[in-house]
A and B are shown apart, each in its own frame.
Chain A
Amino acid sequence: MTALTDPPKESFRLSMLIYDTRYRSMTIQVVALMGFMLLFAWIISNTLQNLSALGKPVDFGFLFEPAGYDINQRLIEYNSQSTHLRAAFVGLLNTLLVAALGCALATILGVIIGVLRLSKNWLVARLMTVYVEAFRNVPVLLWIVLVMAIMIETMPPPRDFRGDNPSASMLLGDSVAVTNRGVYIPEPLFSRGLGDISVFGAFDISLDLIAILIALFGGIYASKLVKRRADRIQEATGDRPTTWYIRLGLVVLPTLAVLIALGFHLGYPELKGFNFKGGIHMRNSLIALWLALSLYTAAFIAEAVRAGILAISKGQTEAAYALGLSRSQTMNLVILPQAARVIIPPLISQYLNLTKNSSLAIAVGYMDITGTLGGITMNQTGRELESILLLMAIYLSISLSISAVMNWYNKRVKLVER
């Protein structure tokens, strides 16, 4: 009998770093890390050397100096004496404004087009295919520049609206004026307004808006409570009480009451002198960016919606019919909840793309964050490194927050399988 002995302990040799799979992954990683750090250090040292040669050490102090330029499109108070930081903030709000408007319009158009593309109607389906292929295969920047050019070149100037027999007229009962200087729409006014509240002394928020939002969301919450009660009754007794008028009233009435209490009325744009006064002035740049981004993104959203609906197998519809559900119940309770799981992730990533594409605003002079921080501020102060780093950091945080929302959603709706 031979005694069972441990194999002789192998001593560590340097070559094992390369040939032994236990150590090799370690070696690769260390080499990769060292290569990366060398590259990084090389870039940093180059940068410092170049910047000191230019006499511009890295310094974010310029953000607190007066900007000295005007921004015509702004959501908060701003004048040329405000700081660069505030200009950047105005730009950020403008980015978010056009992104929000664009996402809303693109979703509406995209869902309609995506559903119509699956229509049984041959002509409608073909037309929608033409739309999708036309918009998907042409650069978004071209659409933006094109809409801008159309607004400037082919819309009537304000003077055409004047006189007894004007060659242009306002739309929708004299409330909307489309001119080559932009679109004028009615603005909400409050004759008994509550005024503004200042937040941190930095910007003002309208108390009227807050009051309306509280009323609206309160109403929606109350309507939810009514729905829950109806659900309970249905589960207990099998009969569902009719609640739609209560719920509609709960949503509409409080808001209406607040609006009346505040003295809500619309201020219409009017032609005074050479231009329109009153109302909200949506500049050409905003219109061009908004329309072009929405039309372009709608084509992609339409494809996502179509794919989502096609992903639900026909058996689901047949099973729902077999259970005796009506057509609308089948759609609302069976198809849509499943299709949403497929549609929403690409939808959110299209929102992200739209937000990033809104940086093309600089091509038409819309003052978004790229136009202020990455445009005029950068050119005026000569702080390219700081401005671009800040710009990237801002876009990155917007993107990462949207991704976080998406991950949260994906986790929530994930299929729980055995």
Chain B
Amino acid sequence: MTQAAFVRTEMVPEQAPPITSSGVIGWMRKNLFDGWMNSLLTVVSLVAVGALLYEILPWIFRSSWTAGSLNECREQIKEAYGPDASGACWAVIRERYAQLTFGFYPSELYWRPILAFILMLGAMAPVLFSNLPRKLLWFSGLYPFIAAWLLWGGSVWGPLSALAGFIIGFALLLAITPRFGAILGVIAAVLGPIIWWTLLSGTVIDVLDSIIPIALEPVKSRNFGGFMLSITIGVTGIVASLPIGIVLALGRQSDLLIVKSLCVGFIEFIRGVPLITLLFVASTLLNIFLPPGTDFDIIVRVMIMVTLFSAAYMAEVIRGGLAALPRGQYEAADALGLDYWKAQRLIIMPQALKISIPGIVGTFIGLFKDTTLVMIIGLMDPLGLSTAIRANQEWNGIVWELYGFIALVFWIFCFSMSRYSMYLERKLQTENH
């Protein structure tokens, strides 16, 4: 019996997936229109975004850049785009741009903050990116003194004597520790600079000033303002709060009862009160706490308070990193015979800091945002200036343009910080997933 059965001998060629599950359409079906609920959400969001853009885009672009007041702005826009048109009045930014950036800093000296800002980028580069030559770190160490001199002006010997205090402290630490032990070394390294700054440096500055007078025109703190003020306070706080935070975190983790309770008390106190009360302390009480007759700069007082505030938060973030470290790391460091500081420096801290990078950068971002609070004690940061501009006859009634601009600048700074933290996390990732 011959029954021919059809037997296929060759494979069917591979076919492309159906058009509905690949390419753009497939992606849309999968991600936007997967079920009726999802489709509804997509349509609703599309409509919302469309309506928003329909309102905002003409407003942004039908704008006036040249007017001298809000009324003039509106006239110009009506003239150009018809009587019902409403547009942004970017003229306010153009007119007040310099003020929003530098506050009341003398305009012929704008080169100084600009130079300080450019140098800051140079000083930050070797800290942020490890593939740059390590020698540049010396410049980063010197930068705070250069910046202070550039911003405030005055005699060059002031910042130099402040720097000398740190050098004295470091030299004492190196000289005394090998001979008399770490405790005396630390005590001498703390006391030496204090004696230098309080007793000696004043005379030395005067003498040097009379021999070699090098000075920039001094600028008073009350002339500082705008983003320059925010960045000055923010960067100082960021640089100073990390080491203080590390010390506080170590103190809180320590076995020494008294040290531990002092640190816990400090951290919990600072974290329990709002920053604004600490700024009140800076503006009204700090002068009462210091010897009669001392009256130091309001911006420096604010910097101290902001630094202490974020140091407490930093300490908690780093404590989290320390706690997340497996016990074995501590034991391994002990087994290698490292003493406390060596173990911290070589084994514990590099790992704990790596774990807490997101938290640390989060604290930095919070600190930078919190610099706007100085508006409440009367400093002219961008928000304080915006209130002043809005109280002005010409610009009374302006809202979105001004705040939109300020918000955008803050957003750029904060967002780049958070992106950098993600980059750093990826770079330092050592686990194999």
A31 at the interface (CB under 8 A from B): yes
Known: A142-B383, A142-B407. A51 touches B272 (CB 8 A): no
Return chain B residues, CB-CB under 8 Å to A101.
none
Return chain A residues, CB-CB under 8 Å to B272.
395-396, 399-400, 403
Return chain B residues, CB-CB under 8 Å to A206.
none
Does B386 contact A388, Cβ atoms closer than 8 Å? no
Our pick among B258, B259, B281, B410 for the contact of A139 (Cβ within 8 Å) is: B410
Distance between B274 CB and nearest chain A CB, rounded to angstroms: 4
Chain A contact residue count (CB 8 A cutoff): 60
Does B290 contact A46, Cβ atoms closer than 8 Å? yes
Known: A140-B369, A374-B277. A388 touches B410 (CB 8 A): no
Does A385 contact B285, Cβ atoms closer than 8 Å? yes
* B74-82, B127-135, B180-188 - the one binding chain A: B180-188
Distance between B47 CB and nearest chain A CB, rounded to angstroms: 11
Our pick among A43, A53, A122 for the contact of B289 (Cβ within 8 Å) is: A43
Distance between A280 CB and nearest chain B CB, rounded to angstroms: 26
Does A142 contact B42, Cβ atoms closer than 8 Å? no
Does B274 contact A127, Cβ atoms closer than 8 Å? no
Return chain A residues, CB-CB under 8 Å to B274.
356-357, 359, 370, 395
Our pick among A25, A122, A359 for the contact of B31 (Cβ within 8 Å) is: A122
* A148-156, A171-179, A405-413 - the one binding chain B: A148-156
A260 at the interface (CB under 8 A from B): no
* B17-25, B113-121, B328-336, B370-378 - the one binding chain A: B370-378
* A6-14, A86-94, A130-138 - the one binding chain B: A130-138
A19 at the interface (CB under 8 A from B): yes
From B34, B184, B407, residue with most partner A Cβ within 10 Å: B407
Does B369 contact A24, Cβ atoms closer than 8 Å? no
Distance between B158 CB and nearest chain A CB, rounded to angstroms: 24
Does B42 contact A392, Cβ atoms closer than 8 Å? no
Our pick among A30, A49, A139, A388 for the contact of B277 (Cβ within 8 Å) is: A388
List which A27-60 residues lie within 8 A (CB) of chain B: 27-33, 36, 43, 46-47, 49-51, 53
B382 to A, closest residue via Cβ: A142
Does B276 contact A138, Cβ atoms closer than 8 Å? no
B257 at the interface (CB under 8 A from A): yes
A233 at the interface (CB under 8 A from B): no
Does B183 contact A145, Cβ atoms closer than 8 Å? no
Does A139 contact B369, Cβ atoms closer than 8 Å? yes
Distance between B304 CB and nearest chain A CB, rounded to angstroms: 14
A212 at the interface (CB under 8 A from B): no
A202 at the interface (CB under 8 A from B): no
Distance between B302 CB and nearest chain A CB, rounded to angstroms: 15
Distance between B431 CB and nearest chain A CB, rounded to angstroms: 17
Does B410 contact A123, Cβ atoms closer than 8 Å? no
Q: Give chain A's interface secondary structure class.
A: helix
Does A149 contact B399, Cβ atoms closer than 8 Å? yes
A25 to B, closest residue via Cβ: B256
Known: A18-B183, A33-B258, A149-B399. A121 touches B41 (CB 8 A): yes
A124 at the interface (CB under 8 A from B): yes
Known: A141-B375, A145-B386. A47 touches B289 (CB 8 A): yes
B61 at the interface (CB under 8 A from A): no
Does B276 contact A153, Cβ atoms closer than 8 Å? no
Known: A134-B411, A138-B369, A395-B272. A123 touches B285 (CB 8 A): no
Our pick among A28, A43, A120, A134 for the contact of B34 (Cβ within 8 Å) is: A120
Does B181 contact A18, Cβ atoms closer than 8 Å? yes
Does A137 contact B406, Cβ atoms closer than 8 Å? no
Give A contacts to B, CB under 8 Å: 18-19, 24-25, 27-33, 36, 43, 46-47, 49-51, 53, 119-124, 127, 133-134, 136-142, 145-146, 149-150, 153-154, 356-357, 359-360, 362-363, 370, 374, 378, 384-385, 388, 391-392, 395-396, 399-400, 403
A-B contacts, 28 listed (Cβ < 8 Å): A18-B181, A30-B258, A31-B183, A46-B288, A49-B291, A50-B288, A50-B292, A121-B31, A121-B45, A123-B31, A137-B365, A137-B410, A137-B414, A139-B410, A146-B403, A149-B390, A150-B399, A359-B274, A359-B276, A362-B376, A370-B276, A378-B280, A385-B285, A388-B277, A388-B281, A392-B273, A392-B277, A399-B273
Give B contacts to A, CB under 8 Å: 31-32, 34, 38, 41-42, 45-46, 49, 180-181, 183-184, 187, 255-259, 262, 268-269, 271-277, 280-281, 284-285, 287-292, 365, 369-370, 372-373, 375-376, 383, 386-387, 390, 397, 399, 403, 406-407, 410-411, 414-415, 418
Given A46-B290, A359-B277; 14 other pairs, CB 8 A cutoff? A46-B291, A121-B42, A123-B45, A137-B418, A138-B369, A139-B372, A140-B369, A142-B407, A142-B410, A145-B387, A374-B277, A388-B284, A388-B285, A392-B273
